[in-house]
Amino acid sequence: MQKEYKTLQSISGPLILVEGVEGIKFEELVEMALPNGDKRMGKVLEVNRDTALVQMFENPRGISTEGTKAKFLGKPLEIGVSPDMLGRIFSGSGKPIDGGAEIIPEEKLNINGAPINPYSRDFPNDFYQTGISTIDCLNTLVRGQKLPIFSGAGLPHSQVAAQIARQCKVVGEESNTAVIFGAMGVTFEEAEYFTNEFKKTGAINRSVMFINTAADPVVERIATPRLALTTAEYLAFEKGMHVLVILTDLTNYCEALREVSAARKEVPGRRGYPGYLYTDLATLYERAGRIKGKKGSITQIPILTMPEDDITHPIPDLTGYITEGQIVLSRELHREGIYPPVNVLPSLSRLSPTARKITREDHEGVFGQMYASFARGLEVRDLAVILGESALSDIDLQYLKFAKDFEDRFITQDEYDDRTIEDTLNLAWDMMAALPKNELKRVKDEHIEKYLPKK
């Protein structure tokens, strides 16, 4: 049943109050028909007796209380999906913007999805090789994981994400993959960078892009990641594809959410973000994973820029509590010209213990040793700043050198350098050889025997 009302009471930012309505349901989709014939979509955010509060997904500009018709469609926001979406570019609200034809949907799906039953999940355990040493060795990615990149303004997170998208594979199983790209409030250049990068490598044919740039309406951003993830779920769990979803920039998404919350005059949580930010983010991030008995998988790499590089800011903080680890980029390394500027110590992949078991026997030990030695090297570096290098003991000097070596050879690699896991582990052994043998406490003796280069 469709219901049309002309009784728009008030408009404040993205929220519209419609009065005198009847039979309206929570979360129902609303189409606002403007006097000039334009149509804008929104959804019911709250319904109280005969008033409905509508949150717009599209630009509310031009909507007036007089003359605009609110049509309640009796169904939630849906997206029409089809395998033909591969190779196409859509706006943040799901309309084709590449000049191609409309998609003829095979199915229409609710963009909010439904939570995956934890009992039906399959634990992700395929090692996903990104070709980046700091990720493969120290923060191993697993297919079906959600691993965000915590970045800052001006850091090369786009390059890192594009490199991962380009290189990542399960060795021996390279076919049947897709990349879904969702951009929320990014600059035109950033969006173009990804489009061109995908075009250049031919990856565009295997990808679906949803682009909401900084110039597009803010509220649209709330729908964009959901469109991307619904498409991903369709391709992964109905078409059996291995889907990598890149979402950038989650900070803009959260800000859009804050805007809606502020317009509703809700009691704010930390820094003005709504108290339900955690739950809301979870409904995005938790849409990654694998399902028992289904072939496909969804791996998520959300990118967010930390305001003032502050990892305790609510957005990175709540994200870190939901995602399975994080890759943190460092401004210091970037300034020194190191690419990819992965800040190894605070980075983490929670699923890596399982992955480390299947790569190579020595991975577990190498992982522990590289971390511990690098951490020690950095401590020595701090010490040297205060006391001067001359005050350091021999062993400390060796660690100091190790830390430098680690940054120059292990972290640093070219944007197009695709290292296999064997390359990475051998490189690690090569570097550990510079340390005295009795300092290698975390690796097993038999592995030292087998892998440590003989001097």
Partner 1 sequence: MEKGIITKVSGPLVIANGMKDAKMYEVVRVSDEKLMGEIIELNDDEASIQVYEETGGIGPGDPVYRTGETMTVELGPGLLTSIYDGIQRPLKLIEEKAGPYITRGIDVPGLDYEKAWEFKPTASKGDKVVAGDILGGVQETTLIEHKIMVPPHVKSGEIEEIKSGSFKLEDVVAVIKDEEGKSHDITLVQRWSIREPRLVAKKNIPTTPMVTGTRILDTMFPIAKGGAGCIPGPFGAGKTVTQQSLAKYCDAQVIVYIGCGERGNEMTEVLQEFPELKDPNTGEPLMKRTILIANTSNMPVAAREASVYTGITIAEYYRDMGYNVALMADSTSRWAEALREMSGRLEEMPGEEGYPAYLGSKTAEFYERAGNVVCLGSDKRNGSVTVIGAVSPPGGDLSEPVTQNTLRVTKVFWGLDAKLAYKRHFPAINWLSSYSLYLDNVKDYWKKEVNEDFGKIRGEAMGLLQQESSLEEIVRLVGLDALSPRERLVLEVAKSLREDFLFQNAFDKEDAFTPLKKQYLILKMIMTVYYETLPLITKEGFSFDDFKALPVMEKVVKAKEIPKEELEKYEDLEKDIIKSIQEYGAKFQAAEAA
What distance in Å separates the CA atoms of residue 91 and residue 113, rounded to the nearest whole number? Answer: 20
Q: Which is nearer to partner 1, 262 or 348 (CB)?
A: 348
Q: What residues contact residue 339 under an 8 Å CB cut-off, 6+ apart?
A: 156, 159, 412, 413, 414, 415
Q: How far is the CB of 442 from partner 1 (least distance, A)?
A: 9
Q: How far is the CB of 201 from partner 1 (least distance, A)?
A: 30
Q: How far is the CB of 17 from partner 1 (least distance, A)?
A: 14
Q: Which is nearer to partner 1, 98 or 280 (CB)?
A: 280
Write the burial class of residue 313 (CB in 10 Å: 0-12 exposed, 13-18 middle, 19+ buried): buried
What distance in Å separates the CA atoms of residue 147 and residue 230, rounded to the nearest whole number? Answer: 19
Q: Which is nearer to partner 1, 217 or 316 (CB)?
A: 316
Q: How far is the CB of 330 from partner 1 (least distance, A)?
A: 13
Q: Which is nearer to partner 1, 239 or 350 (CB)?
A: 350
- Describe the strand order of the beta sheet including 325-328 as a list of residue ranges: 88-91, 207-213, 177-186, 242-248, 297-305, 149-151, 325-328, 348-349
Find tokens 């870190």 and name the residue: 320
Q: How far is the CB of 159 from partner 1 (least distance, A)?
A: 24
Q: How far is the CB of 243 from partner 1 (least distance, A)?
A: 16
Q: What residues contact residue 184 under an 8 Å CB cut-off, 6+ apart?
A: 92, 212, 221, 224, 225, 247, 248, 249, 250, 252, 253, 256
Q: How far is the CB of 23 from partner 1 (least distance, A)?
A: 6
| Interior angle at CA 212, CA 208 and CA 215, nearest 5 | 150
Q: Which is nearer to partner 1, 120 or 420 (CB)?
A: 120
Q: How far is the CB of 387 from partner 1 (least distance, A)?
A: 5
Find tokens 């213990």 and name the residue: 353
Q: Which is nearer to partner 1, 379 or 417 (CB)?
A: 379
Q: What residues contact residue 229 under an 8 Å CB cut-off, 6+ apart?
A: 113, 180, 182, 245, 284, 287, 298
Write the burial class of residue 414 (CB in 10 Å: 0-12 exposed, 13-18 middle, 19+ buried): exposed
Q: Which is nearer to partner 1, 227 or 351 (CB)?
A: 351
Q: How far is the CB of 196 from partner 1 (least distance, A)?
A: 34
Q: Which is nearer to partner 1, 2 or 117 (CB)?
A: 117
Q: Which is nearer to partner 1, 181 or 237 (CB)?
A: 237
Q: What letter would DSSP give residue 342? A: B
Tell me the Cα Rg of the chain. 25
Antiparallel, parallel or unpaired: β 297-305 and 242-248 = parallel
What distance in Å separates the CA atoms of residue 327 and residue 344, rounded to the nearest whole number? Answer: 8
What distance in Å separates the CA atoms of residue 344 and residue 354, rounded to the nearest whole number? Answer: 19
Q: How far is the CB of 148 from partner 1 (least distance, A)?
A: 11
Q: Which is nearer to partner 1, 240 or 353 (CB)?
A: 353
Please list the residues that pair with 242 across neighbouring strands: 177, 297
Q: Give Cα separations from 79 to 76, 223, 229 (angstroms).
A: 10, 10, 11
